[in-house]
């Protein structure tokens, strides 16, 4: 076999699927895994693609099996494993050989690794890859960060393995350093929020309207033919319809309500706070996962206070209201995510291609949806404008806000937690407030700390009549 055009280190689910995808697209690929027992297992699964894959038990053989300049994708767990792998690999490489981290890295790590690579004069790419195992195998969405030159070197391979939307590959260079991993992080934050919004709609149907899982599934299937059409709504319909092979009960009813998280949603919230932007729907989604995990606390709460009767009369809330609430919640959640991207772009000097971000999310990734097409159009008209203010989405919000308000207030009145829907509603209500209550905060700050405030009628910094009175 001739030297491989690209290599993949790490044959966990994502790495294995990515390597098969690369081979499937006609490229010769070298593979290596630290635990070598996994390599023959992987080669067995490769089937017809095996002739295009060269397996190597040692890093040295792996490196020797690659065409120069070498391009090496790392698909190892994010964090220290990436640094350890780079430290092992770099001494074996030439200065024009490139390492590509395709894991869910924290973008700060990617910024650091890119700077270190830059200082050493070696190329480095950090790429966000979305789409789960199926996406990795048959076409993920790819968000690249590093240098344009480094991206151009492997762009043809990444575009070939990526998903396509109307023949356009969902693989885009986002900007320098950690830009690609930042965009992937925000993708995941939005993913958390979109999932939570759907879960809240399910909760209203289950606990409020008394629907069985399969009935909820049918509602999701129906919504998937309208403006909410998306991968997440589609799979929600499928999981709600599934039967537990062990008990014969609806599968959803047998799953413990304790959600895990690897951290990318939390990172989105942390970065939004550091950048001073508001992503309340994403925040609510992360908090909901944290609280779901605190099951003992919740059970103690039930013991102490009981649970309210969450029944909602059918005439108080319709499925159309619920669909409207999800549509409006989704628009507001994405508006927040894109606002965060725009702020990060300015602060980190990335010049993120806002419309292309929406485009690259239209296929392959977990948050792919029909609405992203309209978001891409709105962002290409005005990349900096909050999506909620784009004429198309203004109209969507005008048409659907009443549903969001009704669902949120009715659900909250019945004691049903809907934190993400409520976060969206409060965001909208704040967005449409010419006068918030921050004048009170400013007065308090001035009172206790002489922080000063601006006046509505004069320029400059001012103090209230209370100053010094209490000293």
Tell me which residues are annotated as active site. 184, 191
Residue pair 159/172 in contact (Cβ under 8 Å)? The answer is: no
Beta bridge partners of 145: 126, 175
Integer Cα distance of 334 and 192 in angstroms = 12
User: Both tokens of residue 200?
Assistant: 């809240």
Q: Does residue 188 touch ligand 6PG according to CB under 6 A?
A: yes
Q: Does residue 131 touch ligand 6PG according to CB under 6 A?
A: yes
Name the one range near ligand 6PG by CB under 6 A: 125-133, 150-158, 232-240, 294-302.
125-133
Least distance CB 273 / ligand 6PG (angstroms): 18
E strand or H helix at 449:
helix 438-449
E strand or H helix at 73:
strand 71-74
Residue choice 9, 105, 365, 397 for contact with ligand 6PG (CB under 6 A): 365
Number of residues in contact with ligand 6PG under rule CB under 6 A: 13
Q: Does residue 236 touch ligand 6PG according to CB under 6 A?
A: no
Residue pair 416/207 in contact (Cβ under 8 Å)? The answer is: yes
Residue choice 33, 71, 104, 324 for contact with ligand 6PG (CB under 6 A): 104
Name the one range near ligand 6PG by CB under 6 A: 256-264, 290-298, 343-351, 391-399.
256-264
Q: Does residue 283 touch ligand 6PG according to CB under 6 A?
A: no
CB atoms within 10 A of CB 469: 8
Integer Cα distance of 344 and 362 in angstroms = 22
Q: Does residue 201 touch ligand 6PG according to CB under 6 A?
A: no
Least distance CB 373 / ligand 6PG (angstroms): 19
Q: Does residue 258 touch ligand 6PG according to CB under 6 A?
A: no
What residue spans of 204-318 are helical by DSSP H? 213-223, 231-241, 264-275, 280-293, 295-305
Q: Does residue 197 touch ligand 6PG according to CB under 6 A?
A: no
Residue pair 185/268 in contact (Cβ under 8 Å)? The answer is: yes
Integer Cα distance of 101 and 76 in angstroms = 8
Stretch 289-328: interaction string toward ligand 6PG, x if CB under 6 A = ----------------------------------------
Integer Cα distance of 292 and 286 in angstroms = 10
Q: Does residue 132 touch ligand 6PG according to CB under 6 A?
A: yes
CB of 20 or CB of 63, closer to ligand 6PG: 20
Name the one range near ligand 6PG by CB under 6 A: 89-97, 114-122, 257-265, 433-441.
257-265
What residue spans of 312-437 are helical by DSSP H? 319-348, 354-360, 371-381, 391-413, 419-431
Q: Does residue 126 touch ligand 6PG according to CB under 6 A?
A: no
Q: Does residue 261 touch ligand 6PG according to CB under 6 A?
A: yes
E strand or H helix at 461:
none
Least distance CB 129 / ligand 6PG (angstroms): 7
Q: Does residue 5 touch ligand 6PG according to CB under 6 A?
A: no
Residue choice 47, 260, 449, 459 for contact with ligand 6PG (CB under 6 A): 260
Q: Does residue 396 touch ligand 6PG according to CB under 6 A?
A: no
On the question of a cis peptide bond just before residue 166, with omega within 30 degrees of 0, the verdict is no
15-44 binders of ligand 6PG (CB under 6 A): none
Q: Does residue 79 touch ligand 6PG according to CB under 6 A?
A: no
Buried b / exposed e across 340-360, counting CB within 10 Å, b at 16+?
bbbbbbeebebebbbbbbbbb
Integer Cα distance of 254 and 239 in angstroms = 12
Q: Does residue 366 touch ligand 6PG according to CB under 6 A?
A: yes
Integer Cα distance of 459 and 82 in angstroms = 52
Q: How far is CA 346 from CA 228, 255, 323, 343, 356, in A?
A: 31, 43, 35, 5, 16
Name the one range near ligand 6PG by CB under 6 A: 33-41, 129-137, 315-323, 437-445.
129-137
Q: Does residue 264 touch ligand 6PG according to CB under 6 A?
A: yes
Q: Does residue 281 touch ligand 6PG according to CB under 6 A?
A: no
Q: Does residue 191 touch ligand 6PG according to CB under 6 A?
A: yes
Least distance CB 105 / ligand 6PG (angstroms): 11
Q: Which residues bind ligand 6PG (CB under 6 A)?
A: 104, 130-132, 188, 191, 260-262, 264-265, 365-366
């Amino acid at each position: 076999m001739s030297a491989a055009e690209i290599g993949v280190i790490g044959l966990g689910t994502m790495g294995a699927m990515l390597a098969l995808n690369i081979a499937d697209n006609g490229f010769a690929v070298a593979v290596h895994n630290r635990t070598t027992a996994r390599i023959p297992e992987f080669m067995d699964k490769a089937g017809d693609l095996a002739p295009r894959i060269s397996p190597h038990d040692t890093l040295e053989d792996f490196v020797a099996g690659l065409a120069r300049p070498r391009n090496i994708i790392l698909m190892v767990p994010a964090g220290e494993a990436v640094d350890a792998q780079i430290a092992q690999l770099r001494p074996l490489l030439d200065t024009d050989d490139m390492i590509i981290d395709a894991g869910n890295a924290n973008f700060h790590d990617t910024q650091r690794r890119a700077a270190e690579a830059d200082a050493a004069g070696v190329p480095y790419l950090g790429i966000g890859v979305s789409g789960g195992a199926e996406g990795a195998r048959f076409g993920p969405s790819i968000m690249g960060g590093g240098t344009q030159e480094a991206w151009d070197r492997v762009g043809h391979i990444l575009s070939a393995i990526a998903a396509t939307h109307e023949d356009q590959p969902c693989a885009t260079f986002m900007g320098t350093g950690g830009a690609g991993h930042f965009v992937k992080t925000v993708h995941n934050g939005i993913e958390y929020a979109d999932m939570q919004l759907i879960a809240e709609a399910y909760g209203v149907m289950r606990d409020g309207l008394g629907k069985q899982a399969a009935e909820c599934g049918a509602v999701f299937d129906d919504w998937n033919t309208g403006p909410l059409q998306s991968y997440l709504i589609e799979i929600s319909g499928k999981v709600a319809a599934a039967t537990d092979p062990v008990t014969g009960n609806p599968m959803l009813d047998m799953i413990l309500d304790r959600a895990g998280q690897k951290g990318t949603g939390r990172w989105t919230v942390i970065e939004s706070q550091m950048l001073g932007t508001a992503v309340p729907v994403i925040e609510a989604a992360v908090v909901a996962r944290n609280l779901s995990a605190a099951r003992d606390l919740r059970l103690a709460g039930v013991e102490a206070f009981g649970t309210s009767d969450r029944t909602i009369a059918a005439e108080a809330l319709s499925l159309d209201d619920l669909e409207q609430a999800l549509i409006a919640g989704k628009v507001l959640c994405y508006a927040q995510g894109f606002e965060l991207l725009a702020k990060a772009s300015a602060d980190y000097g990335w010049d993120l291609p806002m419309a292309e971000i929406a485009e690259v999310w239209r296929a392959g990734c977990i948050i792919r949806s029909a609405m992203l097409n309209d978001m891409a159009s709105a962002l290409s008209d005005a990349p900096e404008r909050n999506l909620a203010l784009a004429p198309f989405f203004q109209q969507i919000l005008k048409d659907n806000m009443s549903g969001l308000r009704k669902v949120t207030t009715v659900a909250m009145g019945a004691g049903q937690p809907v934190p993400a829907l409520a976060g969206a509603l409060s965001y909208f209500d704040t967005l449409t407030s010419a006068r918030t209550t921050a004048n009170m905060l400013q007065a308090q700050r001035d009172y206790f700390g002489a922080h000063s405030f601006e006046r509505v009628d004069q320029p400059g910094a001012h103090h209230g009549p209370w100053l010094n009175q209490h000293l």
